Structure 1
Amino acid sequence: MQNLFSYPLVVDELSAAQRRYKFKADEKELKFIADVLKVVDAKSFEADLNVKLSKKEHQLKVWGKVRAELELMSVISLENFTKTYEPEFEINYDTQLSPKDLREMEFEFDDEVPDVIIDGKIDLAEIAMEQIALVIDDFPRQDGEVFEFESEFDEETTEKMNPFAVLAKLKK
């Protein structure tokens, strides 16, 4: 699938000064985003991100806020509804770390592991979509919807079908 929503940055071309990037998806990009996120529709998608490179520390920090208005299908009523997500996030990249180096390193469970920059580039649009993907409900439902289980068996039928009831009779 061709990436129709991309905002790539070449890390070597970044200056040490903090930069702010704001972008908004157009209609064609919204269809692509809905497809990637596997939702009914993406009504809007915008990001307000900051990037700061520290060459001395070999760190690239990306932080900001993403806003997406998505049309989802309720797993309970199967009706479509719209929900807005607005996650704030912070990601730290190590500009010298390779995927191989990362595999060879040992980390404690609660260590914050830096992300790896692949091919010297990061894609801000991809980072923004990832943040939304992380907060979308696995089983979306409208506010106030509750699943209520109704058994097709009543208590009397269940007791008759209980295999242990036969054993209880043999015991007597």
Structure 2
Amino acid sequence: MSQPIRIEAIRQRGTEAVVKASAEQLAPIAAMLGLASLEALEARYTLSRNGERVKLEGRITTSLHQTCVVTLDPFPVKLDVPVKLDFAPEDEAGAAARRGERDDAEIDIEVLLNEDDPPEPIVDGVIDLGAVTLEFLALALDPYPRKPGVSFEAPAAEAGAESPFAALAKLKRGD
């Protein structure tokens, strides 16, 4: 689901863009994401440019069916996912990602909680809005979906049931 936009086409005050999956694209996207079905997928973005940098803000709305991990029944899900990203030319984005890298032999990890993520790279002057849409949709999906009202209860242990390790010990002894 590719929908490229050239950064030259983005105005400083903002450019509106809509990404909508066609009927032919819905089934392959559902298969790629492991969904029971995908009925609708639409994203609305506002892109604004400041020199070579681009700011993207918008929302992804979708209607789909996921498979319950407890009952294995498909159930309907509606998602409304906010999206906010910054883009920079490939060399500038790479430099921002590498900041703080050191050539020391020892490994030193520093986690900065209040720092923004580095900008996404703009490759050859193009941003693929379709790829952004699919990435954020995949991140928003529940990896262990449960149908509303369903809970998992472990089976009760049988009275006098033998532990699996005790059974293995008997086999080892030759009982």
Query: After TM superposition, where is structure 1 displaced by more than 6 Å over at least 4 residues in a row?
Result: none
CA RMSD, Structure 1 to Structure 2 (Å): 2.5
- The CA deviation at 1:81 is 1.2
Moved more, 109-118 or 140-149: 109-118
Of 66, 76, 83 in structure 2, the residue corresponding to residue 72 of structure 1 is 66
Alignment correspondent of 1:154: 158
Select which of 126, 132, 136 maps to 1:131. 136
**Identity, % of aligned positions:** 21
Aligned residue among 28, 31, 47 for 1:32: 28
Secondary structure in structure 1 of the residue aligned to 2:2:
coil
Q: Conserved in 2, the CA contact under 8 Å of 1:60 and 1:95? A: no
Count of matched residue positions in the alignment of Structure 1 and Structure 2: 156
Taking structure 1 as reference, are residues 155 and 116 closer, same or farther at Cα in structure 2, changes over 3 Å only? farther
Aligned positions of 1:23-62 closer than 5 A: 23-55=19-51, 58-62=52-56
In structure 1, stretches of 5+ residues that fail to align are 163-172
Could you tell me how far apart the structure 2 residues matched to 1:135 and 1:100 are? 26
Query: Is 1:9 aligned to 2:13, yes or no?
Result: no
Q: What is the TM-score normalised by the length of structure 2?
A: 0.77
C-alpha contact 2:19 2:129 (8 A) present in aligned 1: no
Instruction: From 109, 112, 119, give the equivalent of 1:109.
Output: 112
Q: Quote the Cα distance in structure 2 between the aligned partners of 1:143 and 1:120.
A: 44
Contact preservation (8 Å) 1:24, 1:45: yes
Between the aligned partners of 1:96 and 1:140, the Cα distance in structure 2 is 36
Gaps of 5+ in 2: 101-109, 167-175
Alpha-carbon distance between aligned partners in 1 of 2:82 and 2:9, rounded to the nearest angstrom: 26
